[in-house]
Amino acid sequence: MTSVISLLSDYGLEDGYIAACHGVIAGISPESRIIDVCHLVPSGDVRRGAAILAQTIAYLPSGVHVAVVDPGGGGSRRAVAVEAGEHVFLGPDNGLLSWAIHASGGARAAYELSNTDLFLKPVSPTFHGRDLFAPVAAHLAIGRHPSELGQEIPLERLVSLPAPTSVLQEGCVEGEVLSIDRHGNAQLSIGSGDLATLGVALGETLVVWLGRRRLSVPFKESFASVPPGEIVAFIDSAGLVALAVNSGDASQRLGLPPGAHVRLSPCP
């Protein structure tokens, strides 16, 4: 039995979708504490949702974690429950859960959600968050075991997103834009350790290659370390390199969508 249920989605805050999910959970497991991780994931952006969940899970108590960013909603994709570490993850089997599962030590069991006795009736094909994932999460919170949810799935059949990578080469490190936050900061797949390996220290200058474009960017403690309107590289709260514009939008300014290739090197 668990007292914590977390929710992540791209439902937004303008409508009653999240309230409906809260209400369903409260009707089944009124003692559960609900933590809203994020409901402003860009619509259908599975990668951004996966990054947020993976970078948050270490700070969440053991419990049931529901994530719904589901551009295939109403289609043939499976709804799954995955046990990993001290957590049970619920969501569409589209890769959304995969990075958080890895961050939790890897999956040890997975089940397809097919026990309709645990669903809200009738089930809307376009609102599985309310009618499927929320009630199942609540039933787990009051003591149901994941094995009661449906047939076990071989772990190798779970859909996974390609893991973000960085590659150290002679005098540089290559990576990609992992995600863009609501401020336009571009989080890279390049970690602080990569810069340390290159010998780059705070206060020095990085050469940032964006395709054929070459920029000289100061490596500082935070975006506030440069004047407004200036570009800066810093280590964000997840331990990854981020590019930002103080009081501006780095993604828009630099033309950096998620997945864009970036190369960093020390300034000669």
Domain ranges of the chain: 4-157, 167-266
DSSP string, 178-238: EEE-TT--EEEEEEHHHHHHHT--TTSEEEEEETTEEEEEEB-SSGGGS-TT-EEEEE-TT
* pLDDT for 246: 95
Q: What percent of the chain has pLDDT over 90?
A: 91
- The per-residue pLDDT for range 252-267, each reduced to its tens digit, is 999 999 899 999 999 8
The answer to whether 111 and 89 are in contact (CB under 8 A) is no
Give the pair of three-digit tokens for residue 120: 């809200």
CATH domain 4-157 topology: Rossmann fold (3.40.50)
Do 167-266 and 4-157 fall under one CATH topology?
no
Beta pairing class for 4-9 and 64-68: parallel
Residue with tokens 């429950």: 81
* pLDDT for 170: 87
- The per-residue pLDDT for range 54-68, each reduced to its tens digit, is 999 999 999 999 999
CATH code of the domain occupying 167-266: 2.40.30.90
- The per-residue pLDDT for range 82-94, each reduced to its tens digit, is 999 999 999 999 9
Give the pair of three-digit tokens for residue 228: 């407004």
Burial of 143 (0-12, 13-18, 19+ CB in 10 A): exposed
The answer to whether 82 and 109 are in contact (CB under 8 A) is yes
DSSP string, 118-129: GS-SSPPTT-HI
Give the pair of three-digit tokens for residue 128: 């599985």
- Threshold 0.95, pTM exceeds: no
Alpha carbon 200 to chain centroid distance?
Answer: 28
CA atoms of 105 and 123, how far apart (whole Å): 33
From first to last of the 268 residues of the chain, give the pLDDT tens digit.
Answer: 568 999 999 999 999 999 999 999 999 999 999 999 999 999 999 999 999 999 999 999 999 999 999 987 767 789 999 999 999 999 999 999 999 999 999 999 999 999 999 999 999 999 999 999 999 999 999 999 999 999 999 999 999 999 888 999 889 999 999 999 989 999 999 999 999 999 999 999 999 999 889 999 999 999 889 999 999 999 999 999 999 999 999 999 999 998 999 999 998 7
